[in-house]
C-alpha cells in the first residue's frame, strides 16, 4: 500500500501539537478507536498524527489499528525521552533510533548477585517469526535504514540504540543497569511496542525523540520538555522535506 499515509505516532497529544500546527488540509483520520487522530499533508507527505496513549501496548495497538484501516507506508514514533548518563546525549537534543530494545522482555530471576534479566533468545523464543529466511526477533527491533538516515541527518546526530519500558527508570541506579544491559542511549515507553507491531505487519519503522531529561532523574524541575519537543519537531519536518 505504497500510496497510504505515513503514521506519526506519539504517546500524547501534547507531543504532536507543534506538528499539528503545520498540517495542511487537516481532516479527521476516520479512526473510530482514536477519534482525535488527524490526517493531512505535512511537508510534502500524507500523514496521520496519532496520540496512541502511554506505553508499549497502546503504541502497538495504534499502529495495528491504523494499518488495518488505511494501510501505512511507514511509522515514525516521536516524543520526549530520557538519555542514559553514559550516552552523553544532552538534554534538548533530537536523536534518531538505530534500534529499539524491549527492557521488559526476557526471563527475570533472583540470585546471589541480585535480580537479573536474560533475553528471550536464551530460550530461544522469538517474538516475530522469521520472514523468508530472515532471523527471528527477540527483544531487539531494527529501524528502517532509509528513514533513520533522513532523521539522523536532520537532527545532526548519529542514530543511537533506544530502549523501552512500561515502567521507566525511577533513579540513576536503575537507569545505569538498563543502559548496561541493553547498550541503549535513550529510554522511552512506546518505541519497542510500535516497532514490534511494524515488524509483524511489514511496515517500515523509525523513531525520533527529543531528550527532555536524564533517564532516572524524576525531578521535573530538571527537565526541559519544551526544548525537547521543539528539537524533534524541527528535525522531523526537515527530514520530511528532504524525503519528499
Q: Is residue 198 situated within a structural domain?
A: yes
pTM of the model: 0.94
Q: What is the pLDDT of residue 165?
A: 98
Q: Is residue 143 situated within a structural domain?
A: yes
Q: What is the pLDDT of residue 1?
A: 36
The whole-number mean pLDDT for each consecutive block of 10 residues of the chain, a chain of 244 residues, reads 84 98 93 96 97 98 98 98 96 98 92 82 87 85 97 97 97 96 97 97 97 96 97 98 88
- Give the count of domains, the chain: 1
Q: How far is CA 117 from CA 151, 154, 224, in A?
A: 32, 35, 32
Q: Is residue 220 situated within a structural domain?
A: yes
CA distance 81 to 195: 16
Whether the CB-CB separation of 136 and 199 falls below 8 Å is answered with no
Domain harbouring 120, CATH code: 3.40.50.1580
φ, ψ of residue 75 to 5 degrees: the values are -130, 130
Q: Residue 239 is part of which domain span?
A: 6-243
Q: What is the pLDDT of residue 2?
A: 52
CA distance 142 to 195: 8
Q: Is residue 1 situated within a structural domain?
A: no
Amino acid at each position: 500500500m505504497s500510496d497510504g499515509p505515513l503514521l506519526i505516532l506519539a504517546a500524547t497529544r501534547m507531543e504532536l501539537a507543534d506538528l499539528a500546527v503545520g498540517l495542511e488540509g487537516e481532516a479527521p483520520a476516520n479512526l473510530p478507536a482514536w477519534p482525535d487522530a488527524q490526517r493531512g499533508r505535512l511537508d510534502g507527505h500524507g500523514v496521520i498524527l496519532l496520540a496512541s496513549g502511554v506505553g508499549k501496548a497502546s503504541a502497538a495497538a495504534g499502529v495495528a489499528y491504523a494499518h488495518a484501516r488505511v494501510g501505512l507506508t511507514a511509522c515514525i514514533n516521536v516524543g520526549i525521552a530520557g538519555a542514559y548518563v553514559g550516552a552523553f546525549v544532552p538534554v534538548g537534543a533530537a536523536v534518531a533510533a538505530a534500534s529499539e530494545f524491549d527492557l521488559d522482555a526476557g526471563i527475570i530471576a533472583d540470585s546471589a548477585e541480585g535480580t537479573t534479566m536474560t533475553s528471550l533468545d536464551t530460550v530461544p523464543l522469538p517474538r516475530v517469526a522469521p520472514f523468508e529466511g530472515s532471523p527471528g526477533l527477540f527483544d531487539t527491533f531494527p529501524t528502517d535504514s532509509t528513514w533513520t538516515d533522513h532523521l539522523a541527518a536532520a537532527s545532526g546526530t548519529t542514530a543511537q540504540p533506544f530502549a523501552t519500558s512500561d515502567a521507566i527508570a525511577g533513579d540513576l541506579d536503575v537507569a545505569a543497569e538498563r543502559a548496561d544491559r541493553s547498550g541503549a542511549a535513550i529510554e522511552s515507553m512506546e518505541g519497542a511496542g510500535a516497532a514490534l507491531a511494524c515488524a509483524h505487519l511489514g511496515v517500515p519503522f523509525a523513531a525520533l525523540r527529543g531528550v527532555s531529561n536524564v533517564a532516572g532523574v524524576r525531578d521535573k524541575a530538571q527537565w526541559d520538555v519544551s526544548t525537547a519537543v521543539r528539537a524533534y519537531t524541527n528535525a522531523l519536518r526537515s527530514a520530511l522535506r528532504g524525503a519528499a
